[in-house]
């Protein structure tokens, strides 16, 4: 059995909904013995800028990443972008739109919680929310717990926050993919089998979704993902081989906000590095250590 590289290309910092700073991510990456990593904050690239400036010469290889929350008539998608030019207008345009959508939804959710349930928060707490780089449901959920409106963040989101639904306040997948490509990056579908809520997408429906996204320029699949059982991983690896797509691996680490360990990418049990992953390494200029090439 081939020795697999230690990589994790899906993790979040405090810039979005994680609990680690970008600098702490680097320390934890080194502790985990990772050889290649990426920060993929939701609709934000600030954490990548901070990490890139904090890296030392002998630190693990880092590539810029991002995760855009998208939706269209067929449902939700999370589009990852890798190895883009952080100074490109293409990626900046998508980030700006994603942040604007989050602010619009935060205003609507605060109004909804007050009108429907009488939930109110001190002005300084609301100001703190709007001062965040990317305020989202987890931040609002934690605030509800703090003021006794829910017992847990999960309850706050499921029983209250999610009751306020939205129509057009999302990025469309083609817009996100276009921006990533325009910045010289690689667009990848995150945890492809998982849709909205507990929805699992497999078989013909999964393949049709994939074909549509490929027509927009999608280049890869996160086929190795911490939440995937072997069957889902195998299906995604099959699609990657069939359509000549890159393969990436990610844990979706959020620090203490999620029960996922850094480096847990569900690659265990693979007998060899998938061909699509080898090609991805070539695309980003990552050379496997000698031990993997023997």
Tell me, yes or no, whether 133 lies in a domain: no
236-239: long-range contacts, CB 8 A cutoff, minimum separation 24? 236/192, 236/193, 237/274, 237/276, 239/192, 239/206, 239/207, 239/210
Q: What's the domain count of the chain? A: 1
pLDDT at 290: 66
Tell me, yes or no, whether 81 lies in a domain: yes
Write out the residue range of the structural domain in which residue 252 sits: 7-87+186-293
Nearest CA-CA partner of 45 in 93, 1, 8, 3: 93
**pLDDT per residue of the chain (294 residues) written in tens, 0 to 9:** 678 999 999 999 999 999 999 999 999 999 999 999 999 999 999 999 999 999 998 999 999 999 999 999 888 899 999 999 999 999 999 999 999 998 999 999 999 999 999 999 999 999 999 988 888 888 899 999 999 999 998 899 999 999 998 877 789 999 999 999 999 999 999 999 987 777 899 999 999 999 999 999 999 999 999 989 889 999 999 999 999 999 999 999 999 888 899 999 999 889 999 999 999 999 999 998 766 555
pLDDT at 291: 63
pTM for this one?
0.92
pLDDT at 82: 98
Tell me, yes or no, whether 282 lies in a domain: yes
Tell me, yes or no, whether 194 lies in a domain: yes
Tell me, yes or no, whether 99 lies in a domain: no
- 3-state per-residue secondary structure call for 106-144: HHHHHHHHHHHHCCCCCHHHHHHHHHCCCCCHHHHHHHH
Tell me, yes or no, whether 12 lies in a domain: yes
Nearest CA-CA partner of 119 in 160, 69, 82: 160
Sheet-wide strand order for 75-82: 7-8, 36-39, 61-72, 75-82, 186-189, 220-225, 246-250
CATH number at residue 67: 3.20.20.140
Backbone angles phi, psi at 126, to 5 degrees: -65, -40
Tell me, yes or no, whether 172 lies in a domain: no
Tell me, yes or no, whether 168 lies in a domain: no
DSSP 276: H
Nearest CA-CA partner of 173 in 224, 134, 212, 204: 212
Burial (Cβ within 10 Å: 0-12, 13-18, ≥19) of residue 58:
exposed
């Amino acid at each position: 059995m081939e020795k697999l590289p230690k990589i994790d290309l899906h993790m979040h910092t405090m810039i979005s909904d994680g609990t680690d700073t970008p600098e702490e991510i680097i320390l934890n990456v080194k502790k985990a013995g990772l050889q290649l990593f990426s920060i993929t904050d939701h609709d934000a690239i600030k954490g990548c800028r901070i990490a890139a400036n904090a890296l030392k010469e002998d630190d693990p290889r880092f590539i810029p990443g991002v995760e855009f929350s998208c939706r269209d008539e067929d449902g939700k998608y999370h589009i990852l972008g890798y190895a883009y030019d952080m100074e490109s207008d293409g990626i900046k345009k998508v980030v700006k739109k994603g942040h604007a959508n989050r602010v619009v939804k935060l205003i609507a959710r605060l109004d909804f919680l007050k009108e429907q349930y009488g939930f109110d928060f001190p002005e300084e707490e609301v100001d703190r929310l709007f001062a965040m780089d990317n305020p989202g449901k987890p931040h609002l959920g934690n605030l509800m717990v703090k003021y006794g409106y829910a017992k847990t963040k999960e309850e706050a989101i499921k029983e209250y926050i999610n009751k306020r639904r939205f129509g057009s306040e999302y990025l469309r997948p083609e817009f996100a993919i276009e921006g990533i490509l325009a910045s010289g990056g690689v667009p990848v579908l995150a945890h492809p089998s998982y849709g909205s809520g507990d929805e699992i997408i497999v078989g013909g429906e999964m393949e049709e979704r994939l074909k549509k996204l490929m027509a927009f320029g999608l280049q890869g699949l996160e086929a190795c993902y911490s939440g995937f059982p072997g069957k889902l991983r195998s299906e995604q690896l099959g699609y990657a081989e069939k359509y000549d797509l890159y393969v990436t691996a990610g844990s979706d680490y959020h620090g203490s906000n999620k029960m996922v360990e850094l480096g847990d990418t569900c690659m265990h049990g693979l007998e060899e590095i998938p061909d699509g992953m080898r090609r991805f390494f070539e695309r980003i200029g990552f050379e496997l250590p000698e031990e993997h090439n023997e």
